[in-house]
Structure 1
Amino acid sequence: MTCRKCSHQIETNAKFCSACGEKVHDSVAQTRIPVWIWIALIVSGITIGGVGYGFWDYYIETKSVPIDKEVSSDVHPVKQAAVVEKEEREEQYSKEIDRVMLIKDVQQKVFTVLTSNGHGSGFLYKKGGYAITNAHVVDGEVHVKVRNAKGQEFAATVIGISEHYDIALLHVPDYQNEGPIEVETDESPVGLEVIAFGSPQGFENSASIGYITGHNRDMELDRFIYKQIYQIDAQIDQGSSGGPLVDAKTGKVIGINSLLYTSETSTTFGFSIPLYNMLEQFEQWIEQPMSRENVLAAAGVYEQYSTYNEEPANVDIDVVLAGQFVQSFRTYYELALNESDFFWIADMLAKGSLAYEELEDYVADISYQGHSFYFLTNDVLDVTYEDGNYFVHMNEKFDFYSGTGDYQFYDRLKTYTVITDDYGAFKIANIQIH
């Protein structure tokens, strides 16, 4: 550095020129930047640089990367998973509601079929009051009862029964205007989810979920042939016979629950007759119902009445049926007495007749007093026909236990006067004790 006055070379850090004595410190100091200014400049630079970098980074992101792609793939993965889970949960809940409604709807059209020998199941097949069940459920009977999901009972008549296949058709007049369960007309595949309805072991209107685990099974049991039946793992048991097997998704009937296989070494499973194989037969019975004689002949029940005449072929078929009707009445009469419910026999008696009035009063008198009746035998001794009436002579034996514990054995001879109503159905008009 040189002196501005004499141009003499000034030594470093000198405050005066050694040649002329000129002071040089202030002039040099004026050219130096104070320390605080440097500090301020550095701090400002850092701040402005950070803001600028952030703005540039935002600019790059918003201009070079689509916002929707960024959000969908990286920004909200947790939110997206929650939405999917919610939709799946709602879908599952909807299916559960549908399943509940399906079962509820089908149960309204499923019956417990009551006979003199026990009970089974059945279901409404076609409008007009036509219901399907197994032949072995109603084998040997023409008049039966059906009980619906509400516990109401209605009279039913067997109008079709097969000698070779385990199927039968009932007519339930009180259900003539009720819509039936829709049926499947094609074969169902293995793996299909199904629901079996019926009254296993008397537990009415049960529904059991399972799958078709096999088909095209053929077998013979007693006098029945079972062709191409479905094998199922849905739980069925005694009393389920005749109930519907339903497609769990469509609600259509695909089969008739018919057989149960069980052993000590294997898991129990069932068999159901494919409905599509039997539709033609049911339609034929609807168009042309079987007569009472043919229904009973299919079960071979005439053989037990051969003592009526030395030549069974000449026996009047209505005489045979009248005897069987009274035997069936006795079974329901026992139920009416023990359950204190006249309804069990009301439709088997001629309304306004002496038998109707006397039995209605008698059941009411002994109701809920703790009495018990156990019918032992109901043998038909003879049946005669005169002036439009059938006279059925019976020998009846039963045990009676009073509500106080007293016991008495009865052995009685009775004559039942049986008439036919306007529809050809048998009705009891009078009962005479000898």
Structure 2
Amino acid sequence: MKCPKCNHIENAGGNFCSVCGEKLTSIPVVKQGIPVWMIFVLIICFVTLGGLGYGFWDYYNDNQKASGTSYKETSTIPNIQQVSTEEIKKKQENYKQDVDRVALIKEVQQKVFTVLTNSAQGSGFLYKQGGYVITNAHVVEGEVDVAIRNSKGQESPATVIGISDRYDIALLHVPAYRDVKPLEVEPRESPVGLEVIAFGSPKGFENSASVGYITGNGRDIELDKFIYKQIYQIDAQIDEGSSGGPLVDVQTGKVVGINSLLYTSETKTNFGFSIPLYSMLEQFDAWIAKPLAAKEVLAVADVYNYSPQTSVDTDAILAGQFVQAFRMYYELALNEGDFYWIADMLASNSTAYRELEDYVNDITGDGHYFYFTNNEVLDVTTSNGNYLVYMNETFDFYNAQGDYQYYDRYKTYTITTDSNGAFKISNIKIH
């Protein structure tokens, strides 16, 4: 024991210090604590185990996220190119312009129709509230009861209520579109150099849209006893079947003309002509105010004799065009992160609907950009009442870090029709 006064160490068993005589008391022995080195070892073990656990959790989470969506437009490719920030910005600016243009095309196409008669096929567009459709006179000559087909393949009956024996214009009334908002029209002359989009069904290819420019105006042409006054010359591609379709200003979305004539030559340098809509508005409004009787419409056919266009079976072609149109809106859905762009083109509760909805939502906000470069229809067949559209599709892909990848894909689209006869995509198979 240790003396509390002089600190002298006494043998155990004594009651007083042999040096100073101080009374001794028992002092509890303090046990030695855990060595410092062992504490450090334990800390290192805990940190290591925690890191391994987090790594496993993160890996498991990523795998779960990756397996949550079965449809993927992109996949890992070893050859990745780095793209500069300036190039990405340029691509994004070009893409915004394309978005505006594509949105305009989608809006206008809902109000552009294929005009069907017993012997001819042309185009038309919705004009003024009440269900009035403008077309060319030579498309509906000798007809009173005709039909129109919209961009989804739905047909509606129409009646010719106005037709001219001097100008190549006619007006239809379609009760089914009485409450649909019509296209806006340009009430003034349009200048040379104006960028325009020609809509219609050239050679039976419905829902077509071709971008070009007004390359000339102020021309008067007389053909088959029709007078085309101050007609616009355009370089946008049109063909037989485009007649009656609208020519639309890219910037305003207003209709500036009625596509009517095609000039062809042995050099294959073709261009079209479009009737200035502003110059015919008075006549169209007069027919709306006072429609022609059926006998008056038929009487016009005796005034001129125009060789009608040949109708064609376009069912398979339409299915292919529907898929091509879908690809245009699918690009928007991917880049905008908005499934809305394609939702109405997919069969409800179908595999295609579920997989594409999951995929678009999964990549939303990741900063990816898709640039579709080719959508080629290779073949169209039928199976069990459905169309099978075989496609070759190519596109450029940029991720948020600027890495670039090129894709070349082959796909098969299964196309069904709903109760209204409209096309819907039910399945997409990537080969």
> TM-score, length-normalised on structure 2?
0.50
Within a 5 Å distance, the mapping from 1:233-252 to structure 2 comes to 233-252=235-254
- Give the whole-Å Cα distance in 1 for the aligned partners of 2:137 and 2:228: 12
Q: Which residue is equivalent to 1:297? A: 299
Q: Which residue is equivalent to 1:154? A: 156
The answer to which of 195-204 and 258-267 deviates more is 258-267
Residue of structure 1 aligned with 2:193, choices 185, 191, 194: 191
Q: Which residue is equivalent to 2:396? A: none
Q: CA deviation at 1:250?
A: 1.1
Amino acid at match of 1:160: G
Q: CA deviation at 1:84?
A: 7.2
> TM-score, length-normalised on structure 1?
0.50
- Give the whole-Å Cα distance in 1 for the aligned partners of 2:280 and 2:294: 21
Q: Which residue is equivalent to 1:181? A: 183
Question: Structure 1, residues 277-310: CA drift from partner, whole Å, max 9, x if none?
Answer: 000100101111111111111121899xxxxxxx
Q: Which residue is equivalent to 1:232? A: 234
Q: Which residue is equivalent to 1:219? A: 221
Amino acid at match of 1:128: G
Residue of structure 2 aligned with 1:264, choices 263, 266, 270: 266
Q: Secondary structure at the match of 2:192?
A: coil
- Give the whole-Å Cα distance in 2 for the aligned partners of 1:154 and 1:301: 28
- Give the whole-Å Cα distance in 1 for the aligned partners of 2:225 and 2:120: 19
Q: Secondary structure at the match of 2:300?
A: helix
Amino acid at match of 1:183: V
- Give the whole-Å Cα distance in 1 for the aligned partners of 2:243 and 2:134: 11
For the pair shown, the structure with the greater C-alpha radius of gyration is 1
Amino acid at match of 2:224: D
- Give the whole-Å Cα distance in 2 for the aligned partners of 1:92 and 1:219: 38
- Give the whole-Å Cα distance in 1 for the aligned partners of 2:155 and 2:100: 29
- Give the whole-Å Cα distance in 1 for the aligned partners of 2:181 and 2:255: 14
Question: Structure 1, residues 350-405: CA drift from partner, whole Å, max 9, x if none?
Answer: xxxxxxxxxxxxxxxxxx99xxxxxxxxxxxxxxxxxxxxxxxxxxxxxxxxxxxx
Q: Which residue is equivalent to 2:280? A: 278
Amino acid at match of 1:180: P
Q: CA deviation at 1:265?
A: 2.8
Q: Secondary structure at the match of 1:278?
A: helix
Instruction: Considering fraction of residues, name the structure with more helix.
Output: 1
Q: CA deviation at 1:166?
A: 0.2
Q: Secondary structure at the match of 1:230?
A: strand
Q: CA deviation at 1:105?
A: 0.6
Within a 5 Å distance, the mapping from 1:234-383 to structure 2 comes to 234-300=236-302
Higher relative contact order (CA 8 A, sep 6+): 2
Q: Secondary structure at the match of 1:164?
A: coil
Q: Secondary structure at the match of 1:93?
A: helix
**Is residue 197–residue 243 contact of structure 1 (8 Å, CA) maintained in 2?**
yes
Amino acid at match of 2:211: I
- Give the whole-Å Cα distance in 1 for the aligned partners of 2:85 and 2:278: 43
- Give the whole-Å Cα distance in 2 for the aligned partners of 1:140 and 1:151: 25
Within a 5 Å distance, the mapping from 1:395-414 to structure 2 comes to none
Q: Secondary structure at the match of 1:178?
A: coil
Amino acid at match of 1:162: S
Question: Structure 1, residues 181-200: CA drift from partner, whole Å, max 9, x if none?
Answer: 11111111111111000000
- Give the whole-Å Cα distance in 2 for the aligned partners of 1:237 and 1:85: 37
Q: CA deviation at 1:117?
A: 1.0
Question: Structure 1, residues 56-81: CA drift from partner, whole Å, max 9, x if none?
Answer: xxxxxxxxxxxxxxxxxxxxxxxxxx
Q: Secondary structure at the match of 1:281?
A: helix
Residue of structure 1 aligned with 2:122, choices 120, 123, 127: 120
Q: CA deviation at 1:126?
A: 1.1
- Give the whole-Å Cα distance in 1 for the aligned partners of 2:303 and 2:179: 33
Matched, 1:99 2:101: yes
- Give the whole-Å Cα distance in 2 for the aligned partners of 1:89 and 1:281: 46
Question: Structure 1, residues 103-126: CA drift from partner, whole Å, max 9, x if none?
Answer: 011000000000011200000011
Amino acid at match of 2:194: L
- Give the whole-Å Cα distance in 1 for the aligned partners of 2:87 and 2:205: 39
Q: Which residue is equivalent to 2:70? A: none
Amino acid at match of 1:290: L
Amino acid at match of 2:103: M
Residue of structure 1 aligned with 2:113, choices 111, 114, 138: 111
- Give the whole-Å Cα distance in 2 for the aligned partners of 1:266 and 1:191: 22
- Give the whole-Å Cα distance in 1 for the aligned partners of 2:295 and 2:274: 29
- Give the whole-Å Cα distance in 1 for the aligned partners of 2:124 and 2:245: 5
Q: CA deviation at 1:89?
A: 4.3
Q: CA deviation at 1:88?
A: 4.9
Question: Structure 1, residues 397-424: CA drift from partner, whole Å, max 9, x if none?
Answer: xxxxxxxxxxxxxxxxxxxxxxxxxxxx
Amino acid at match of 2:199: F
Question: Structure 1, residues 145-183: CA drift from partner, whole Å, max 9, x if none?
Answer: 000001010000000001100000000000000011111
- Give the whole-Å Cα distance in 2 for the aligned partners of 1:135 and 1:235: 21
Amino acid at match of 1:164: R
Within a 5 Å distance, the mapping from 1:15-26 to structure 2 comes to none
Q: Aligned residues, how many?
A: 228
- Give the whole-Å Cα distance in 2 for the aligned partners of 1:169 and 1:302: 17
Matched, 1:133 2:138: no
**Is residue 111–residue 146 contact of structure 1 (8 Å, CA) maintained in 2?**
yes
**Is residue 120–residue 140 contact of structure 2 (8 Å, CA) maintained in 1?**
no
Question: Structure 1, residues 302-334: CA drift from partner, whole Å, max 9, x if none?
Answer: 99xxxxxxxxxxxxxxxxxxxxxxxxxxxx9xx
**Is residue 115–residue 138 contact of structure 1 (8 Å, CA) maintained in 2?**
yes
- Give the whole-Å Cα distance in 2 for the aligned partners of 1:185 and 1:171: 22
**Is residue 296–residue 302 contact of structure 1 (8 Å, CA) maintained in 2?**
no
**Is residue 114–residue 149 contact of structure 2 (8 Å, CA) maintained in 1?**
yes
Structure 1 unaligned regions, length at least 5: 1-81, 304-331, 336-367, 370-434
Amino acid at match of 1:143: D
Structural RMSD (CA):
2.7
